[in-house]
Amino acid sequence: METPLADIKIGKVTSQWAENNHVFVTYQPQVDSTNNLAKEEAFEEELLAESLCLYLTDHQTAGRGRGTHTWTDSRPGSSLLSSWSYLLATKPQPTTSCLVGLAVYRACSSTWPFLAWNLKAPNDIYIGDKKIAGILVENVIQGDEVRLIIGLGLNVTSSPESVETATSLIEELPPGAPLLGQDYTAFLDRLLFELTIAVSYCEEPLSPTDQLSLLTALNLHPLLEEIYTGMQADGSLFTATKKINWMSL
């Protein structure tokens, strides 16, 4: 990337990647929420032939997180603001949230393995003790058809100054390791692969490999009060003192 970082629009760059990879994509410079737009268009007749619809923007006026949380981006174009809308035949199981978090973690850590990636249940990606990404998983149902919508916000070239616990890729990359366009493209390739695999298993219990992978990613989080000692196929977590439902976190 030869242009100044302030001139780079991550949503637009990602849209070009999607078009090159024949992914159905809708890009708008500004929307209220990509997840809202994905839900509104979930069952539009012309989109029912698309197993994946990707929604992108460079600025959200009402970005949402889980529950009452909101998503704030530093400046327009500085973050990957996306919703990945998958068409399914049946309603996904609660373990889908676990699988999606693991998918994003794997895509990040495989692209930039020298950074201290970790997962904070149920929906946040961290580098060290700083949050870099948030995930919002929703689904909408119409008759026998289901759209699983994965909202992903990832700070790329900057993070909100008003949020002390936030960071971005640019802030975390070590000296001599610039944010290369080829690395970002490789990340998107891996993210598409990992999310698609995760969605394909969203009706099944977590495999032993996924359970161990999740435990490892979760226990890397430096702000944990208690280490997780075990995990069940339904996503339940154990510490030395209690059992925790994933979605209650």
Average pLDDT, the chain: 91
How confident is the model over 31-87, as pLDDT tens digits? 999 999 999 999 999 898 899 999 999 999 876 555 555 556 667 789 999 999 999
What distance in Å separates the CA atoms of residue 221 and residue 227, rounded to the nearest whole number? 9
Instruction: Reply yes or no on whether the pLDDT at 6 is more than 90.
Output: no
The first and second tokens of residue 135, run together, are 């995930």
Mean pLDDT of 135-142: 94
Domain presence at residue 215: no
227 vs 144 pLDDT, higher one: 227
State the CATH number of the domain containing residue 36: 3.30.930.10
Q: What ranges in 173-227 are assigned the alpha helix state H?
A: 181-200, 208-219
Instruction: Reply yes or no on whether the pLDDT at 247 is more than 70.
Output: yes
Instruction: Reply yes or no on whether the pLDDT at 1 is more than 50.
Output: no
pLDDT of residue 3: 42
Domain presence at residue 119: yes
Q: For residue 230, what are the CA distances in angstroms to 213, 220, 240?
A: 11, 14, 9
Domain presence at residue 96: yes
Domain presence at residue 18: yes
pLDDT of residue 131: 96
What distance in Å separates the CA atoms of residue 79 and residue 27, rounded to the nearest whole number? 14
Domain presence at residue 210: no
141 vs 163 pLDDT, higher one: 141
This prediction has a pTM of 0.92
DSSP 232-243: -TTS-EE-SS-E
Confidence of residue 7 (pLDDT cuts 50, 70, 90): confident
Domain presence at residue 177: yes
Which domain range does residue 185 map to?
5-205
How confident is the model over 185-220, as pLDDT tens digits? 999 999 999 999 999 999 999 999 999 999 999 999
Number of separate domains in the chain = 1
The first and second tokens of residue 167, run together, are 């960071």
pLDDT of residue 2: 41
Instruction: Reply yes or no on whether the pLDDT at 151 is more than 80.
Output: yes
Domain presence at residue 139: yes
CA 92 to chain centre: 17
pLDDT of residue 232: 96
Domain presence at residue 229: no
What distance in Å separates the CA atoms of residue 230 and residue 211, rounded to the nearest whole number? 8
